[in-house]
Amino acid sequence: MNEAERLVELIPRLRRYARALVGDRASADDLVQDTLERAWAKLHLYRSGTDLRAWLFTVMHNVHVNKVRATRVTDTLEDDLPELAQRASQGDALLVRDLDRAIARLPAEQRAVLLLVTLEEMSYEEVARALGIPIGTVMSRLSRAREKLRIMMLGQGAAAKLKVVK
């Protein structure tokens, strides 16, 4: 299988991660698009035979960090909990929106670790490599992200709903 085919194969996973990372569908797909373009431009830096998936998530992470840096001003509004764009999704729409909001309130670096571990099911070592941080930092960010989310969900009275989902 060549790179193009493997890229196509990985698109759904990139989209899932991007959706959780940025919230609304259009921005998420923009992020995926930018990631794929960057991947083609940087493909010569990818060592074939290594994990293309991990490399792509690194590329996406860098693209995202640069985007966020460019729009940092709007990020400071996070505490006001802006209404996030409504998205079409299966499952409990209310719960998804609560989750969206809660995730959006996490610091970006904690969000990335939590999502790579939980959604992508990357090992802690893979996450450390993908984000270019020590594994101890992965563990502490993961722990803080979870604890924040837990408290937020309790605060919103959504803990009961979480149980329903399980």
Partner 1 sequence: MSTEPTVTEADLQAYADGRLGVERRAEVEAWLAARPEEAERVAAYRRLGDALRAAYDPVLAEPVPQHLESTATRRPRARRIAAVAGWITLGALLGALAGWEARDWRRPAGQPLAEGAVMARRAAIAHATYSPEVRHPVEVGADQEQHLVAWLSKRVGARVRAPKLDEAGMALVGGRLLPGESGPVALFMYQTAAGRRLTLYIRAEAKGNRETAFRYARENNVSVFYWIERDCGYAISSADLSKDELLRIATLVYKQLEP
The answer to whether 85 contacts partner 1 (rule: CB under 8 A) is: no
- Nearest-CA neighbor of 106 among 21, 5, 6? 21
Q: Give the span between the Cα atoms of 16 and 112, in whole angstroms.
A: 13
**Binding residue (CB under 8 A) for partner 1 from 22, 36, 63, 131:** 36
CB atoms within 10 A of CB 74: 9
Q: Could you say which DSSP state residue 79 is in? A: G
* Contacts (Cβ under 8 Å, ≥6 apart) of 134: 128
Where does this chain touch partner 1 (CB under 8 A) — which range of 14-22, 63-71, 73-81, 126-134? 14-22
Query: Interface residues for partner 1 in 43-62 (CB under 8 A)?
Result: none
Query: Interface residues for partner 1 in 15-34 (CB under 8 A)?
Result: 15-16, 19-20, 29, 32-33
Q: Could you say which DSSP state residue 90 is in? A: S
The answer to whether 94 contacts partner 1 (rule: CB under 8 A) is: no
The answer to whether 84 contacts partner 1 (rule: CB under 8 A) is: no
Is residue 21 within 8 Å of 112, Cβ to Cβ? yes
CB atoms within 10 A of CB 20: 20
**Binding residue (CB under 8 A) for partner 1 from 66, 86, 118, 156:** 118
Q: What is the nearest approach in angstroms of partner 1 to the Cβ of residue 68? A: 19
Query: What is the phi/psi pair of residue 90, to 5°?
Result: -75, 170
Catalog residues that contact partner 1 under the rule CB under 8 A.
Answer: 2, 4-5, 7-8, 11-13, 15-16, 19-20, 29, 32-33, 36-37, 40-41, 89-91, 95-96, 99-100, 114-115, 117-119, 123-124, 139, 142-143, 146-147, 149-150, 153, 159, 162-163, 165-166
